[in-house]
């Protein structure tokens, strides 16, 4: 899997597609002025708001379209790693810089679930909270009013390192 940055008409919006081979799995739009993330795929669409918390902004909160906390993320400074929780599902992540930039998401038992390449524009230290949120939502999509089973079991077999 890979995040591909797509041009958008507004410079305030960063648009990405999560692709697996040639198939688009997810679309993510991050709007910087509103600190909002719009995630959509064939299942549905969600809107989240991103809030930085903490003295050194090492904690990020994700609020849903109703302002209710839907998840949180912490960053371990200097280690390119941390944890993220979305809609009750907790994951750990690690950012690899070599041979090419990639995000790897692990379950609570440190089993790899998803390996996702980042585009060439990624710079070390860049805020990846919206992309991590998108990956976690892809692993276990939650659409209000619908019960959806996690995809993590099927994706774990595709992990390549």
Per-residue pLDDT of the chain (161 residues; tens, 9 = 90+): 999 989 888 888 999 999 999 999 999 999 989 999 999 998 889 999 999 887 776 889 999 999 999 999 998 877 789 999 998 899 999 988 777 888 999 998 889 999 999 876 776 666 788 999 999 999 887 655 554 445 544 443 343 33
pLDDT at 149: 47
Q: From CA 155, how far away is CA 11, in angstroms rounded?
A: 33
Cis bond before residue 74 (omega within 30° of 0): no
The residues spanned by each domain of the chain are 2-158
Cis bond before residue 99 (omega within 30° of 0): yes
Give the residue from 130, 83, 132 showing the smallest Cα distance to 110. Answer: 83
pLDDT at 125: 62
pLDDT at 11: 87
pLDDT at 99: 78
pLDDT at 46: 92
pLDDT at 75: 87
pLDDT at 35: 92
Q: From CA 142, how far away is CA 130, in angstroms rounded?
A: 16
């Amino acid at each position: 899997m890979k995040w591909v940055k797509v041009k958008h008409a507004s410079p305030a919006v960063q648009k990405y597609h999560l692709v697996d081979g040639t198939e688009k799995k997810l679309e993510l739009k991050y709007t910087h002025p509103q600190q909002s993330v719009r995630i959509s795929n064939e299942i549905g669409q969600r809107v989240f708001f991103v809030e930085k918390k903490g003295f050194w902004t090492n904690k990020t909160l994700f609020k849903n379209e109703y302002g209710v906390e839907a998840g949180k993320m912490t960053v371990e400074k200097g280690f390119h790693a941390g944890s993220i929780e979305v809609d009750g599902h907790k994951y750990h992540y690690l950012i690899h810089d070599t041979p090419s930039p990639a995000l790897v998401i692990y379950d609570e038992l440190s089993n790899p679930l998803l390996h996702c390449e980042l585009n060439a524009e990624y710079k070390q230290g860049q805020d990846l909270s919206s992309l991590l949120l998108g990956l976690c939502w892809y692993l276990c999509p939650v659409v209000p009013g619908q019960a959806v089973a996690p995809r993590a079991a099927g994706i774990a077999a595709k992990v390549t390192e």
